[in-house]
Chains A and B, each alone.
Chain A
Amino acid sequence: MNDDQNNQDNGRRNALKGLLGIPFAAGAVWGAIKHTQKQQLEKKNILNVLNIDAKRPDNTANLAGDPVRIGIIGFGIRGPQLLQALGKATTSWIDNMKKNNPDRLQAFLDQEDLNVKITGVCDLFDVRADEAVESFKDDGCKRYRHHEEMLASPDIDAVIIATPDHWHAPIAIKALQAGKHVYVEKPMTHNIAETYALRDAVRNAKNLVLQVGHQHRQTQSFITAQDIIDKRILGHVSLVTTNTNRNSDNGAWQYEIHEKANPQTVDWQQFLGSAPKIPYNAEHFFRWRKWWAYGSGLSGDLMSHDFDRINCVLKMGMPKSVVASGGIYTHHDGREVPDNFQVSMEYPDFSTGSSREAGLEKGMTFVYSATLGNQFSRQTLLMGHDGTMDLGNTLSVWADPNSTRFKEQIKNGIIDPNVPMYAYNPAADELDAVTSATSKYFADKGLLWTYVNGRRVDSTNLHLKEWLNAIRNGTPVSCGIDQGFEEAMSSHMGGISWKAGRRVEWDHATESIVALPGENLDEVLLRTNVGMYDKVIG
């Protein structure tokens, strides 16, 4: 071998050394492609089995024309939030967000313009009313001392009611009679009689729209959940569990008492309305949720949310019977409403469909369990023979290991009962149906889903948009009087059961809560001790 040959060999060997990495790079790329293909195939297989259509119904709205002129009644905590969802924020909120939460401010500014003007405000506390007038002066916002003055005004087309509960129905009824459209916060009513009265008022007001403030009906996970139920993926749901878990002053309605509140700045007599006439009491004014005279306890205040969350998915309507128990165990601070509250609602004739032999499965229990002394997050679970749905802002569905419907897929390994067979991210167009430890981890953690891809949209904004679209174009609303009626009546049954200490029944034929001989159910429900607070006045 001569030198030239040696050099040539070395050259070739060196050239090969230069290219050594190429097959490895190709290997890594090939491996990644194969892995992804396998995952996509698994996902496709499961999705073919489930055939869930997660698309939101068309919610485009024609909101052109003159702005709808809105009067806000109640501008405490929820009132300003509702106006923010309409694209109207107070000057102080905007300044606060500029400093502390620019992302939230940006999300607010990015909201769809709903073409409204805030032309009136009613609030019984001068500071709040003045703030609204000042913030919305460009809209021509005027303060009305009494809601009846506002309702008589030709400058108002529609009202948003975010008052204490005992004012919801009286104002809503008057508004409808005055020809104004109504958006009313939950619970729709404070007692049984006014629930019927409000329903009559809506039925008599032919061209007016009432929407109850259960904005979760706009949340994509709840729309997807309805499709999952319609496709009978869970099989027969025998148990639904819902919860409230809170462990803070704010969560227990111990709101701040404003330093400028006094009998001169608060219209106390008007606040009282149907409540017992007691002297001015700042705590009652700001923390009204703690007393039956103005609020509705955990049943109307928070269970109403959970009831409607499930009712919009299952459409199970009124329960046959309701049993409630609980007490004041974590906040002995003078309140009357329980802070620990457990309710069982029975639906013996209800079924979401069965994959088993005909007649075997029928009946369901809805459970609501609440404490204001612990905030461990318990999931909302819809538990069926074929699967379990964990329903919140995110949605996950697990196959049941003993499912009849998915028996074959579980056997073949297409579906693993230990990880979600379907998980949905409401904020993104993407859905992730696969079954990996990572997606399970992030789904459990719950911090991922709302931010991926698209921008975040406030459900309340969509709910108000639906209401405004209905006002302008006669389209339907998702939480009208019938849904509100069921939400309110089932809440009242919970309250009555707790107060009367007995099982309360619903008569489907007469659409009424069954009273014992001589019993006035509204009296039981509204029974309050606030009259005893005379001595504690501020």
Chain B
Amino acid sequence: MLTFIVNNPYYILLALSTAVAAGILGAFAVMRRMALASDPISHIALPGLGLALILKINPLIGAGAALLVGALLIWSFEKRTGISTETLIGVVFSLALAVGSLITSGEELIDALLGNYSSVAPVEFFVGLAIIAIIIIFLLMKRHELTLSILSPELAKTSGIATDRLNLYFLLALVATVLLGLRFVGVLLMGSLVIIPAAVAKNLARSMRGMIVIGAVIAVFSVLAGLLGASYFNLPTGPTIVTVAAGIFVLSLLRKKPD
């Protein structure tokens, strides 16, 4: 176990920082009732991953491009038609998962779906860390604006918040977090790393601030314990991380705060 951490410091550190961003982001996603949306949003990465593998370019670039297009599509559709994001994401992204599975092959498909161990190059690590830092700073600095625009767009508007732009930034933060987490958790389960820690935090926290902190801590713990467990028992990383998180969720139900 320790050899794994010592030999893969970039991998572990990037996984843990992604978990912090996912935990914080989850608090807002759950509040926005986007919990279900953040799950299939990761699926749209798959056709991009598949195409990148076929074209022999870095899979993360393919996945990133696909996610970016997906986020912009959701944002503009939602803005124009007023259809809920969940419906759109449900339809478009399930299709993406289907198409992606068709064009990605064998072992690569399993790795893309469930996450794996792979070396993280120093450049990838530092770029990833910079993106995570931007996401975390954005979420913490804009937490008041995000909270208000989620609770009531009208109240947000009368308080002078540009809700459209804020929504777009939030979606971009979501896809960037999903993209960075793909390697560790996989396309199928990355959404769970956003949802489950936030769901635990909602059960335990007595304030929004508490929910953000607890969400981040649970996400970090799940990733750390999941990666160590996966390495020790030779299991795929994504399912192990999500199983740990889900176990904590069940425990949190026992300690749910009184009404």
Q: Are A and B physically bound partners?
A: no
